[in-house]
């Protein structure tokens, strides 16, 4: 099974900061990596798909990069509503998914 390892597991940042989260796959997954935002008490929300494609309606301060085994999610100019837990997810086999363990972004 493909494992997804995120780092860091948590971080503290201030409004306006630039934040980068990394995700490494245990084997190559091409560009089949998605990123989700999960706020407490809400359903997860798709932010980025296919490594770098912004889902409709997601602010442009979110961006993704990577291919193969190494991927990043960057949030430029962090906003209050961005404090949440972020998950990478691989989907290299149709309908089979694996999540990373999550990165909690907290207010400094």
Partner 1 sequence: QVQLVQSGSELKKPGASVKISCKASGYTFGTYPLTWVRQAPGQGLEWMGWINTNTGNPTFAQDFTGRFVLSLDTSVSTAYLQINSLKAEDTAVYYCARDRGLTAAGAPRFYRFYVMDVWGQGTTVTVSS
Closer Cβ to partner 1, 36 or 71, answer by number: 36
Give yes or no for a contact between 47 and 73, defined as CB atoms under 8 angstroms apart.
yes
DSSP-derived 3-state class of residue 31: coil
Which residue in 2, 5, 20 sits closest to 105, CA to CA? Answer: 20
Cα separation, 38 vs 27, in Å, equals 25
How far apart are CB 15 and partner 1 at their closest, in Å?
25
How far apart are CB 43 and partner 1 at their closest, in Å?
4
Binding-site ranges for partner 1 (CB under 8 A): 1, 31-32, 34, 36, 38, 43-46, 49-50, 53, 55, 85, 87, 89, 91, 94-102
How far apart are CB 13 and partner 1 at their closest, in Å?
20
């Amino acid at each position: 099974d493909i494992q997804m390892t995120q780092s860091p597991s948590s971080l503290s940042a201030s409004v306006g900061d630039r934040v980068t989260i990394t995700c490494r796959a245990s084997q190559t997954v091409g560009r089949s990596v998605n990123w989700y935002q999960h706020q407490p008490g809400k359903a997860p929300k798709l932010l980025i798909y296919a490594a770098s494609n912004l889902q409709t309606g997601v602010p442009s301060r979110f961006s993704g990069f990577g291919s193969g085994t190494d991927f990043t999610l960057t949030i430029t100019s962090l906003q209050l509503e961005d404090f949440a837990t972020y998950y990478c997810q691989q989907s290299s086999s149709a309908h089979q998914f694996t999540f990373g363990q999550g990165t909690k972004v907290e207010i400094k």
